[in-house]
Amino acid sequence: MIDHLSLQVADVAASAAFYDSVLAPLGGRRLMEVGEGAVVAFGADRPVLWLGRAVGGGAGREVHLALGAPDRAAVDAFHAAAAAAGTEVLHAPRVWPDYHPDYYAAFVRDPDGNNLEAVCHAPA
């Protein structure tokens, strides 16, 4: 149902580098740069996640973005890439039975403090 999502970030280059590392295990990659890196888009075969410089005033609100993983190993690799990038790990990979018996996910913060999740719904 979601076609694409755009996040406003404080530092496009830093955020793009972070997303390069954590999206790779999930099959995502940098697909486009617009305006000499002012906007960067990621996806598997088409742009679905866009990063652009934060504009306007006011306090931002945390976004929760859950990204699908093809298997549990990809969730583990996402977690490892995020930890290697020095980001805050909110929850290491594990099963979350409150959601459903096969819900396997890890949660981290991106460079702007957003809650980024990688989730696999397949059984072990």
Q: CA 109 to CA 22: how far, in whole Å? A: 11
DSSP 87-107: PPEEEEEEE-TTT-TT-EEEE
pLDDT band at 110; cut points 50, 70, 90: very high
Whether the CB-CB separation of 17 and 37 falls below 8 Å is answered with no
In the chain, pLDDT over 70 holds for what percent of residues?
96
Domains delineated in the chain: 5-120 (3.10.180.10)
Higher-confidence residue of 58 and 122: namely: 122
Start-to-end CA span in the chain (Å): 26
Beta bridge mates, 104: 95, 120
State pLDDT tens for residues 78-104. 999 999 999 999 999 999 999 999 999
Predicted structure pTM score: 0.88
